[in-house]
Amino acid sequence: MAENEARIIRLEETIAHQSLVIEELSDQINEQWKVVEQTRARLERLMERFSNLEEQGLEAPPVTRPPHY
């Protein structure tokens, strides 16, 4: 009987530990998701700015030979 009680206690300890680890991992995933969303928003803003700059950009000057040639 004592063997079963010890086994149950070990199982309960394992479950408690796993529950804590799962909660910590969930918190880390939530924090990482926030970073991903912030990065995505920045990328979208940069892409929009780049697109606007391309539309406003002037035509590149023609490539000419330098005078010393």
38 in a structural domain: yes
Give a yes or no: residue 34 inside a domain: yes
2-18 pLDDT, tens digit per residue, is 999 999 999 999 999 99
Q: What is the pLDDT of residue 55?
A: 81
Q: HSE (CB half, 13 Å, CA atoms) of 57?
A: 10
Range of the domain at 26: 22-50
Q: How far is CA 19 from CA 11, 14, 38, 39, in A?
A: 12, 9, 29, 30
Asked whether residue 27 is domain-assigned, the answer is yes
Per the prediction, the chain carries an average pLDDT of 91
In a domain, 42, yes or no: yes
Tally of domains within the chain: 1
pLDDT at res. 43? 97
Each residue of 44-61: pLDDT tens digit?
999 999 988 888 876 666
Residue 48's identity, in one-letter code, is E
Residue 11: both structure tokens together: 């199982």
Count CA within 13 A, CB hemisphere, residue 18. 6
Q: pLDDT digits over 33-46, tens only?
A: 999 999 999 999 99
